């Protein structure tokens, strides 16, 4: 792993030295020219990736991520016990595929050692490498993308930051079980991609749906294994970059989503993408630093409430609808809800863990009035395919 990572820059280390006592920077273990820190299980590992050559707007600019590090180091921690490691930067390889290989290798090793990788990346096609890090873990995965676009694109063409999801869908090995997009804007996405999302039973949520009740996003993240955050999902007035839409998430909403991602007991890697040179986005480093802070805050408040074998830990509710009975489970510890999917015996064994789907109390109430949750219907159809 170390051969792919260059140390944290001297400028960032010098900044760390002059920070006040108690700030995050004083508690972060950094990869320096003296060596790599011993990365311990259950910690966070920050990995910067200065790759952007597959950005459709690439004009030869370099991705400089030191400003994002400095902004994060300058914050103060919450009541956190997990160690934070800054492993340095994966620089551009001879080709973009070389960079992908390096990212995949580094993240895979971290995941196998139960460390949570946090990727600070240039163009969002790096998310493809983040996803491929799960290839050897032997399970199907769910991806959540906070984005104004679906990024499906044309999988027959070379990969770029607006088509990497298409590659995730069609490239072997097939590990993707579900793909959710939070905050997409219809007028920015081709109708064919919107139709494809529905055809594949994926879960797209428009910007208006997310902002109307952001708490619903918690159930989406609760069922996810990895998360992508595209900073272009933030509206231009809050994240001053010319390629952002005038509509989008505001600062509080993007941080709330980040915290929900952290609270999820299943999310094991987290990526923030489309980071531009500091000069292009003056307020970018502070915004990204706070998104990171809220993700770690969420992880600190994780509660293990998924021991479904222990019937004493849950209250079970049976709701008859037409010719079937929906089974809901409510955790006595956290009050969170799940709905049971009927197990289908002829599917791949890797799908067995998807027989319980996170849901809300509101969806339970709707079921008592005869309305089957849409996500339940989609998940069942996927299990039957």
Residue 15's alpha-carbon distances to 9, 11, 69, 73, in angstroms, are 10, 6, 10, 9
Residues 26 and 136 in one domain: yes
pLDDT tens string 100-154 = 999 999 999 999 999 999 999 999 999 999 999 999 998 899 999 999 999 999 9
Residues 288 and 372 in one domain: no
Q: What's the token pair of residue 202?
A: 């994926």
| Within a domain: 14 | yes
Residues 74 and 11 in one domain: yes
Residues 232 and 322 in one domain: no
* Residue 143 CB contacts under 8 Å (≥ 6 apart), including other chains: 131, 168, 176, 178, 179, 180, 224, 225, 226, 227, 228
The pTM for the full model equals 0.94
For residues 78 and 296, the answer to whether their CB atoms sit within 8 Å is: yes
β-bridge partners, 315: 330
Which of 277, 300, 323 marks a domain boundary?
Answer: 300
pLDDT value of residue 385: 58
Query: Mean pLDDT throughout 33-50?
Result: 96
Residues 19 and 129 in one domain: yes
What is the dihedral angle through the alpha carbons of 162, 164, 169, 175, rounded to the nearest 10 degrees?
Answer: -140
Q: How many domains does the chain have?
A: 2
pLDDT tens string 155-206 = 999 999 999 999 999 999 999 999 999 999 999 999 999 999 999 999 999 9
Residues 210 and 120 in one domain: yes
* pLDDT of 278 strictly over 90: no
* pLDDT of 242 strictly over 90: no
Strand 324-331 versus strand 314-321 pairing type? antiparallel
Domain residues for 342?
Answer: 311-384
Residues 289 and 158 in one domain: yes
* Higher-confidence position of 379 and 335: 335
Instruction: Say which CATH number the domain at 217 has.
Output: 3.40.800.10
pLDDT tens string 57-89 = 999 989 999 999 999 999 999 999 999 999 999
| Within a domain: 306 | no
Find the angle CA(135)-CA(137)-CA(141) to the nearest 5 degrees: 70
Average pLDDT of the chain is: 93
Question: Which has the closest alpha carbon to 182: 156, 217, 225, 151?
Answer: 217
Query: Mean pLDDT throughout 362-382?
Result: 90
* pLDDT of 352 strictly over 80: no
DSSP element (H, E) containing 206: strand 203-206
How far apart (Å, rounded) are the C-alpha atoms in residues 60 and 79?
42
């Amino acid at each position: 792993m170390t051969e792919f990572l260059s140390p944290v820059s001297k400028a960032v280390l010098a900044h760390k030295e002059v920070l006040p006592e108690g700030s995050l920077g004083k508690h972060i273990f950094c990869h320096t020219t003296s060596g790599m820190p011993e990365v311990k299980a259950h910690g966070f590992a920050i990995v910067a990736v200065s790759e952007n050559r597959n950005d459709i707007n690439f004009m030869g600019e370099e991705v400089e991520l030191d400003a994002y590090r400095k902004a994060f180091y300058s914050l103060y921690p919450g009541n956190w016990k997990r160690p934070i490691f800054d492993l340095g930067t994966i620089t551009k390889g001879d080709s973009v595929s070389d960079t992908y290989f390096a990212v995949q290798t580094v993240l895979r090793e971290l995941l196998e050692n139960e460390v949570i990788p946090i990727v600070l990346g240039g163009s969002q096609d790096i998310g493809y490498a983040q996803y491929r890090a799960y290839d050897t873990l032997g399970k199907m995965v769910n991806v959540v993308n906070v984005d104004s676009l679906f990024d499906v694109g044309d999988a027959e063409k070379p990969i770029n930051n607006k088509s990497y999801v298409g590659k995730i869908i069609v490239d072997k090995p097939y590990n993707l079980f579900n793909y959710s997009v939070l905050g997409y804007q219809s007028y920015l996405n081709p109708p064919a991609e919107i139709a494809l999302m529905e055809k594949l039973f994926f879960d797209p949520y428009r910007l208006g749906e997310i902002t109307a009740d952001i708490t619903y996003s918690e159930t989406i993240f609760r069922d996810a294994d990895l998360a992508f955050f595209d900073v272009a999902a933030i509206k231009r007035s809050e994240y001053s970059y010319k390629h952002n839409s005038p509509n989008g998430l505001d600062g509080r909403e993007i941080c709330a989503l980040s915290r929900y991602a952290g609270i999820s007991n299943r999310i094991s890697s987290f990526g923030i993408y489309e980071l531009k040179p500091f000069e292009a986005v003056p307020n970018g480093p502070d915004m990204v630093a706070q998104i990171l802070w809220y993700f770690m805050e969420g992880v600190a408040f994780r509660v293990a409430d998924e021991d479904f074998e222990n019937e004493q830990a849950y209250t079970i509710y049976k709701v008859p609808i037409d010719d079937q009975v929906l089974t809901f489970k409510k955790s006595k510890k956290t009050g969170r809800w799940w709905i049971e999917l009927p197990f289908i015996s002829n599917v791949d064994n890797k799908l067995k863990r998807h027989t319980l789907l996170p849901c809300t109390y509101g969806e339970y109430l709707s079921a008592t009035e005869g309305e089957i949750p849409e996500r339940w219907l989609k998940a069942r159809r996927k299990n039957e395919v």
